[in-house]
Amino acid sequence: MARILLIEDDPTIRAVLRLTLAHFGHTVIEARNGKEGLGLFRQAGADLVITDIIMPDKDGLEVLKELRKQPISPVKIIAISGGGVTQEAADSLRMAKLLGAAKTLTKPFSNEVLIAAINELLPVAARKGAVGQSPTAPNSP
């Protein structure tokens, strides 16, 4: 199972994602903003980072830039953003991809889409426990 750093400022979305990830056997470390998330990453590391883009106290694009500067092997990153119908959100996700996000997801997304992205990015050993389980996790964000 993977150690996932979840950086999301919306407490409801963060809780749903935490429950979903835990259901699939992952250990979740939570942060309310980019500044807090980067501090937790420096302290404890992670196999994967899921970060919202639009947040206070360092947005997701700043998080991506900082994580790419880390001396350890590059961590896989999934960038997420809500309001996908707005041009700003779409532009932010495109920029996230350019800055090194391995995957981008527009909120709302299904549990199946999230777990498929994680399974694609992580080696089988890191996602042990997630493989072969049915996606019957709590409701999608």
Task: Answer whether residue 140 is part of any domain.
Answer: no
User: Cα–Cα distance between 141 and 137 in angstroms, integer?
Assistant: 11
Task: Answer whether residue 132 is part of any domain.
Answer: no
Around Cβ 89, how many Cβ atoms within 10 Å?
A: 17
pLDDT digits (tens, 9 = 90+) for 68-91: 887 766 799 999 998 645 677 788
**Domain CATH number, residue 21:** 3.40.50.2300
User: Cα–Cα distance between 136 and 141 in angstroms, integer?
Assistant: 14
Model confidence at 12: pLDDT above 90: yes
**pTM for the full predicted model:** 0.85
pLDDT digits (tens, 9 = 90+) for 29-68: 999 999 999 999 999 999 999 999 999 889 999 999 999 8
Task: Answer whether residue 134 is part of any domain.
Answer: no
Q: What is the mean pLDDT of residues 115-131?
A: 71
- Please count the structural domains in the chain: 1
Task: Answer whether residue 36 is part of any domain.
Answer: yes
- Structural domain for 30, as ranges: 3-127
